[in-house]
Amino acid sequence: MGFNMRKKNIALIGYMGTGKTTIGKRLARKLGLTFVDTDAYIEKQQGKKISQIFEEDGEPAFRRMEETALKALMENENLLISTGGGIVLSEQNRKVLKERTFLVTLTASPGAIYSRVRGNTDRPLLQEADPYQKIVDMLRARKPYYEIGDIMIPTDELSEKICVERIVEAYQKS
């Protein structure tokens, strides 16, 4: 990155339940950025819940909506973008995130994720017989995509406050 080409937006990637919304809101406040959640953004654009989009339009249609949403958000600056867990499945999204944002990967163990998201009916990908095994399998499949972050933060090992401090420190050095 040339002289003073600091990336204007910060994006958080990671599996569901790793703390993207919680840490994202806190980080946005601390840095004076506008918090945007891609799922909430898509719900507002489409006028329906993500679970409804999955049900009525299917996952491929939702993934296209994610690409469109991310592209639109990149037209802005000073955003803290909390992404949906599967946004990294698209090569185009990975490229945009890597090139245009300071990219933070949040991680957590399958056990921590399970205890954070179990019983949440708004998670279309977990509506099955063995959600814990589904988490383990999806984490394994998505691992290489999540490893593209400029920094990785294990949210099950660190307090929210320390997670935020580490991200701020890394961002300011970037």
Would you list the domain boundaries of the chain? Answer: 9-169
Is 44 annotated in some ligand binding site?
A: no
Is 18 annotated in some ligand binding site?
A: yes
Q: What is the pLDDT of residue 6?
A: 57
List per-residue pLDDT tens for the chain, 174 residues long. 333 445 789 999 999 999 999 999 999 999 999 999 999 999 999 999 998 999 999 999 999 999 999 999 999 999 999 999 999 999 999 999 999 999 999 999 999 999 998 877 677 667 778 889 999 999 999 999 999 999 999 999 999 999 999 999 999 998
Note whether 155 and 11 are within 8 A (CB). no
Is 39 annotated in some ligand binding site?
A: yes
- The whole-model pTM stands at 0.92
Listed in sequence order, the DSSP H helices in the chain are: 20-31, 38-46, 50-57, 59-73, 91-100, 110-117, 131-146, 160-173
Is 142 annotated in some ligand binding site?
A: yes
Is 29 annotated in some ligand binding site?
A: no
Q: What is the CATH number of domain 9-169?
A: 3.40.50.300
Is 20 annotated in some ligand binding site?
A: yes
Note whether 107 and 155 are within 8 A (CB). yes
Is 123 annotated in some ligand binding site?
A: yes
